[in-house]
Chains A and B, each alone.
Chain A
């Protein structure tokens, strides 16, 4: 039995009132809706007559297009001069009087009330136990813009917005095929957030699709306000810093991933779509890679991978060599480093931790603070803390250079920033305690942990290990478009008799 005292907001308290079926009395239906939204000034319930028959309209003012409602539903209905038939008047209204492609009928008043909140107009006709749900959505939304955190040099400038329909349209534009399927679901007891599960019917692995759906259906949450809320359910490997659930703000990226046999999940109210499964190597790929020449793309992917390795290991390796393996430095370099570090107060480990703490703090402040004072923080961070700390002898210049290089490298693969920032600290500590040997043990543990990730039957480190020749053509190395185009990059190669 649930102990209510220990639960801050027990879900049972959020159970909604039910209103049963739609009544024959149209005015009564309008009264119930008003009662349900008592105090909400944006819920509009209006009564009218169509050739002497009482008709009640209900909608949410902010979510609907008032002009469209007036022109294509209310005006034609209230100015209709003919006789409504006794049998099936709603069919007649839908077929002959009102105009709109998005129409349906609803018998349950509870569902009808939900439809109001989706931006539709409800039309109740006296004597009918159903109502017409007339699509007139016009929710507030921002314009389609280029995503800030997934900038492409040559690709499309369109990014997802918060509106689920707009997002769907952006993908539809790119995948003109009936094989592109979308399934709708609703998650969140209170928020009732709509989600779309997108996939290519001929390429998705049915088992993976089934697993994704069952995981989503098993979600028991009160509110889902962002796609990130679903990550926990989709990600089974909890004991890892990495995730096999990808995220994108770009419709072209999602379309490309869906074409590879992956599954996209779009959540209403958020411009971030989720993609499952995501491979490790995808963190180093961008859409620009397919526009650039193969040699340059391969080079850039190598640079990104190297940047990742530098951002994770460099501070730890520097600390380890500085404390335990000084003989590895060339003599001149060792001489310079010793001179600069001899003026500082702390050991290399402490120095590295201090600078990283300062860097992460400045970064977090830069992320959350008003943009207007961003420059001031940059100056404080870069000049005052950086320069002054070296001059004051708190930290050494070599360490500052290492951290600066690391910070730049960590931003190359923005999706990996979270694991990078934590791993960096871990390797600094390990390097400071046990030198390169400890770092190598840590690296081995990290790699085995990554190799153990096989969500949805796909190994995270594929196509490197297990090696897959077909998928390897588009990994760190990118083959020419001619070779890539001859066979589709298919993530499910591992499931269909592919190597382990």
Chain B
């Protein structure tokens, strides 16, 4: 066993946690209605979209010979360029994660409190954790997943008496077109799946099977969470900045009337995992483009740059707009999931055809 190898279930547990983190800190947008019954079906679209959009990655990993080419094409400018592009995309992703958590912490956890130092600590911890390797992160994420799922199930159980089925409006009340656009907007948040390309050589086991399992489980989890959010908050959910958190604040168990601090503390596991995954991916991409750079120095530098941006963003609510800027969100989903894998796939196929022509 090496520091850098991770089994497929562990890797997808990591992605699952990352997705749950996005769900817990889901920011409601005026363009997307949450409090409708068809919101429960959006995760189904998410699963289908995730599987369909991942086809370039699938073909790159199977027919494109990604594993071999990552070794053989270490000096290829195309590969280095794509690696750098991936690094930039995941840097933006990491920044969005930190910014979203900053907004969440300063508006919900400790309202009105300057959270910059706390977030700087979070980034520092995540940078340090990248030194442990993707293998350690994957192994730990299986335990994190159990904790987060148990906590979510417990919160849902305590919320069950608050659920009002009348909050669920009739299906497709706003039309099928609205349902499709909302569902697509909801589905393009899983840019993490592009990390499969980056860590593919390190992933041991059946990636295809676990990817499909991940899509289905993520969709089911989203439906489950949305059911309780809509059931407890109703139309009120659309007026909340963080609707999942607002639903959790209603949870109480026996003597304990407030459990939100505990729940949100457990959600932080998702944030740590997500951010560490992104930083690891950035370090790996930069390492591919510039093999002579020390991984530790790269990780520290990436952490420092994220912290710098964080200081700039923090404190002014207008600076957080980029988190929900649709073209940016779409871009950082489509680039690592569809565009960059397609570029590599086409490059590999062309190169292979030329090689075959030379031989014949």
Which residues of A are at the interface with B, using a C-beta cutoff of 8 A? 321, 324-325, 327-328, 330-331, 333, 434-442, 444-445, 447-452, 454, 457-459, 461, 464-467, 494-495, 499-500
Q: Nearest 6 A-B pairs (CB), nearest first? A: A452-B136, A452-B132, A330-B255, A436-B265, A451-B139, A325-B261
- Tell me if A459 and B129 are in contact (CB < 8 A): no
Contact among A448, A454, A464 with B1 in the assembled complex (CB-CB below 8 Å)? A454
**Closest Cβ of chain A: how far from B113's Cβ, in Å?**
10
CA distance A465 to B10 in the complex (A): 9
> Contact: B10 with A444, CB < 8 Å?
no
Residues of A within 8 A of B140 (CB): 444, 447-448, 450-451, 461, 465
Q: How far is it, in angstroms, between the C-alpha of A145 and the C-alpha of B143 when the chains are bound? A: 41
Q: Using A328-B256, A465-B143 as known contacts, say yes or no to A444 and B268 having CB atoms under 8 A apart.
A: yes
**Residues of B with C-beta under 8 A to A499:** 7
Closest Cβ of chain A to B114, distance in Å, is 13
Chain B residues near A458 (CB-CB < 8 A): 1
Q: How many angstroms from the CA of A175 to the CA of B64 in the assembled complex?
A: 55
| B154 interface hit (Cβ, 8 Å) | no
B221 to chain A, nearest CB (A): 20
Q: Is B264 an interface residue (CB 8 A)?
A: yes
Can you report 27 A-B residue pairs in the complex whose CB atoms are below 8 A from each other? A321-B261, A324-B261, A325-B258, A328-B258, A330-B256, A434-B118, A437-B105, A437-B109, A438-B121, A441-B121, A441-B272, A444-B140, A444-B269, A444-B273, A445-B128, A448-B132, A448-B136, A451-B132, A451-B137, A451-B143, A457-B1, A458-B1, A461-B143, A466-B139, A500-B5, A500-B6, A500-B139
Please state if A494 and B136 are interface contacts (CB–CB under 8 Å). Answer: no
Per the bound structure, the CA–CA distance linking A325 and B261 in Å amounts to: 7
Report the Cα distance A331→B273, complex, angstroms: 35
Docked-complex contact B256 and A448, CB < 8 angstroms: no
Residues of A within 8 A of B266 (CB): 440
Report the separation of the CA atoms of residues A495 and B132 in the bound assembly, to the nearest whole angstrom. 20
Q: How far is the CB of A251 from chain B (nearest CB, A)?
A: 31
- The minimal Cβ–Cβ distance linking B33 to chain A, given in whole angstroms, is 31
Smallest CB separation, B14 vs chain A (Å): 11
Q: What is the CB-to-nearest-CB distance from B229 to chain A, in angstroms, rounded to a whole number?
A: 21
B129: A residues at CB distance < 8 A: 444-445, 448-449
Q: Closest Cβ of chain A: how far from B296's Cβ, in Å?
A: 12
| Known contacts A448-B137, A451-B132, A441 near B3 by CB under 8 Å | no
Quick one: closest B residue to A443, CB to CB?
B269
Closest residue on chain B to residue A329 by CB atoms: B256
B201 on the interface (CB 8 Å rule)? no
* Most chain A CB within a 10 A radius of its CB, from B136, B139, B256: B139
Chain B, residues 106-139, CB within 8 Å of chain A (1/0): the string is: 0001100000001001100100110011011101
Interface residues of B in 232-275 (CB under 8 A from A): 255-259, 261-262, 264-266, 268-269, 272-273
When the two chains form their complex, are residues A445 and B139 in contact, meaning their CB atoms are under 8 A apart? no
Contact of B142 with A by CB under 8 A: yes
Instruction: Say whether, besides A441-B272, A451-B139, A500-B6, A436 and B1 are in contact (CB < 8 Å).
Output: no
Query: Cα distance A276–B7 when bound, in Å?
Result: 25
Cβ–Cβ contact B268 & A441, under 8 A: yes
Which B residue's beta carbon lies closest to that of A330? Answer: B255
| Chain B window 1-42, contacts with chain A (Cβ cutoff 8 Å), 1 for yes, 0 for no | 101011100100000000000000000000000000000000
- Whether A327 pairs with B269 at a CB distance below 8 angstroms is no
Interface centre among B6, B10, B265, B272 (most CB of A within 10 A): B265
Least CB distance, B176 to chain A, in whole angstroms: 41
Residues of A within 8 A of B121 (CB): 434, 438, 441
CA separation between A464 and B135, bound complex, in Å?
Answer: 15
Closest to A462 in B: B139
CB distance from A108 to the nearest CB of B (A): 45
Task: Tell whether, in the assembled complex, residue A466 and residue B269 are in contact, meaning their CB atoms are under 8 Å apart.
Answer: no
Q: Which residues of A contact B276 (CB under 8 A)?
A: 448
Which of chain B's residues have a CB closer than 8 A to the CB of A321?
A: 261
- CB B146 to nearest CB in A, in angstroms, measures 9
CB distance A464 to B143 under 8 Å?
A: yes
